[in-house]
Amino acid sequence: MAMLEVKNLEVYYGVIKALKGISFEVSQGEVIALIGANGAGKTTTLHTLTGLLQAKAGSITFEGKDITKTPAHNIVKLGIAHVPEGRRVFSNLTVYQNLRMGAYTRQDKGEIEQSLQTVYQRFPRLEERKNQLAGTLSGGEQQMLAMGRALMSHPKLIVMDEPSMGLSPIFVNEIFDIIEKVSAGGTTVLLVEQNAKKALSIADRAYVLETGNIVLSGDAKKLLNDDSIKKAYLGE
């Protein structure tokens, strides 16, 4: 059984139909990429999964439980963490305070401390800057902080929206290395990414969205070599 199952999902912005009945699934341990042009519905999909938008029709099932109408704060408790587009760190709080915010659904102090140490191991730069205000970090460091904060909830599934956006090439490589390590550590990853080549190179499977429809899906490495994908998304 799939960990996450999306069936015939329809989402509207006012009268505009942003998602036109899409279906896809994510199995435990996979890295799944959602790729597509701007406005294809990628962010809308993630926002609906994490309870920030309401579906008009269709269903979302997580670990066998229907979460279609579950509020966002309860979705975090179920084990889905969201790294939003544009990072959205709390710029007036320190790095440490931002990370602690990520653990607000958890009670056990010992476990929270353990997660904090794990995040610091994965992102040594965050430990170096733990007392710095988040707003003073570089874009790449803020992206690391957003990912670290999401990991503090100890998620089963982490949903990332455009993690490489606006970053220098060196940071892009670093962020993708970290995504691979997060996956290797046992967390399932659903990735929305403008950089299709990078996304497909680390994903197991991928879905291609066009104007609210899934038009193609399959093994990520095969899609990487698909001529129509190369033309449309890889600039070849």
Share of the chain above pLDDT 90, in %: 58
pLDDT confidence of residue 111:
85
- Based on its alpha-carbon atoms, the radius of gyration of the chain, rounded to whole angstroms, reads 17
Bigger pLDDT: 103 vs 21 = 21
Torsion of CA 86, 88, 93, 94, to 10 degrees: -50
Residue 229 has pLDDT above 90, yes or no: no
Bigger pLDDT: 234 vs 85 = 85
Question: Given pLDDT bands bounded at 50, 70 and 90, which one contains residue 84?
Answer: confident
Q: Which two tokens stand for residue 236?
A: 């070849």
Q: Which two tokens stand for residue 61?
A: 């099932």
Q: Which two tokens stand for residue 92?
A: 């007036």
* H-only helix segments in 123-185: 124-128, 139-151, 169-184
CATH architecture, range 4-233: 3-Layer(aba) Sandwich (3.40)
| pLDDT tens per residue, range 175-203 | 899 899 899 989 999 999 888 989 999 99
pLDDT confidence of residue 159:
95
**Mean pLDDT for all residues in the chain:** 90
**What is the mean predicted confidence (pLDDT) over 43-61?**
94
Q: Which two tokens stand for residue 201?
A: 């190179």
Residue 236 has pLDDT above 60, yes or no: no
Tokens 């042009």 locate to: 37
pLDDT confidence of residue 67:
96
207 and 220 Cβ atoms separated by less than 8 Å: no
pLDDT confidence of residue 146:
92
Count CB atoms within 10 A of the CB of residue 54.
11
Q: Which amino acid is at 162?
A: E
| pLDDT tens per residue, range 142-163 | 989 999 999 998 899 999 999 9
Q: Which amino acid is at 200?
A: L
pLDDT confidence of residue 235:
64
**What is the mean predicted confidence (pLDDT) over 48-56?**
93
pLDDT confidence of residue 68:
95
